[in-house]
Copies of this chain bind each other. A is one copy, B any other.
């Protein structure tokens, strides 16, 4: 993982999204294992880019009682195989870190293409690892260092404020979601919420971009239906995945939005689909995590790793 700073992850993962939306990636449906005692879930994402050297399998787990045992909740690894012979090439024992990073990079890509021209405040929902990585990877994409962070725990908010202040951000904490909406026009939600943490307010009506990265299962949900219903543009990392999991999935079920209005991130990057048309639009990116991100980060790390 020491290799990460040497890699242009934005470029690699943008190329992955472009290949995916162009139909040049083979990415079967996500495999899933659910454990009950203690509760945990495992996602198996796998696939390849047509004509590439490798195929990649990523196993990532979340066991939410792990922190009570002094262990991180996330774990996992990535495997690379020769796409032409099946021979195993490498195991990246990343303990879930590369999944966290490729998720943060996707957030930065969404902001690069969809944020208003001037970001006046970055709003972050959540105080965990992803809430930190999103800021870190957003830094090259926006000059704004003003951050409003929302959370439920005062202690975690203060820890986040302290840590991210040390990284050069100017951080205000809040437990009131409306205060994030009022003060920020680039918002990232990073919680494992199963009830919306961000609810639309008609009285706070200015252009903004929201990237939702927390919801990657059918049950999780961070944005209320009114927010999706009010959006001028909704972008999915993967249309096929977002139909069955994440924010878009809920809004489609309730017929708040129509499938035909959705576009894919890879098509925004190439310009095949139109992005934001003016600074007063509300745009939303729903990121459920696509195996092309795993493929691209695994290859990039493997290729610069010693041995």
Contact = CB atoms under 8 A, between A and B. Distances in A.
A49 to B, nearest CB: 12
B62 A85 contact: no
Given A66-B85, A86-B66, A88-B75, A35 B59 contact: no
19 contacts: A26-B33, A26-B34, A28-B31, A31-B31, A33-B46, A33-B47, A37-B51, A40-B85, A42-B55, A42-B81, A42-B86, A44-B46, A44-B57, A63-B86, A74-B86, A75-B81, A75-B86, A76-B86, A88-B93
A307 interface: no
A77 interface: yes
Contacts of A86: 40, 42, 61-63, 66, 74-76
Copies in the complex: 2
A79 B58 CA distance: 12
Contacts of A62: 86
Interface in A1-49: 26, 28, 31-35, 37-38, 40, 42, 44, 46-48
A71 B84 CA distance: 11
A33 to B, nearest CB: 6
Interface of A: 26, 28, 31-35, 37-38, 40, 42, 44, 46-48, 51, 55, 57, 59, 61-63, 66, 69, 71, 74-77, 79, 81, 83-88, 91, 93
Nearest to A55: B33
Q: Is the interface of A mostly helix, strand, loop or mixed?
A: strand
Given A44-B46, A46-B33, A85 B59 contact: no
Contacts of A51: 37
A38 B55 CA distance: 13
Nearest to A69: B85
Contact of A61 (B63, B74, B81): B81
Contacts of A40: 84-86
A160 B159 CA distance: 69
A51 B36 CA distance: 10
A28 B74 CA distance: 21
Contacts of A84: 35, 38, 40, 63
Given A31-B31, A37-B51, A71-B85, 16 more contacts: A28-B31, A33-B47, A33-B55, A35-B48, A38-B84, A40-B86, A42-B46, A42-B81, A44-B46, A61-B86, A63-B86, A74-B86, A75-B87, A77-B79, A88-B93, A91-B91
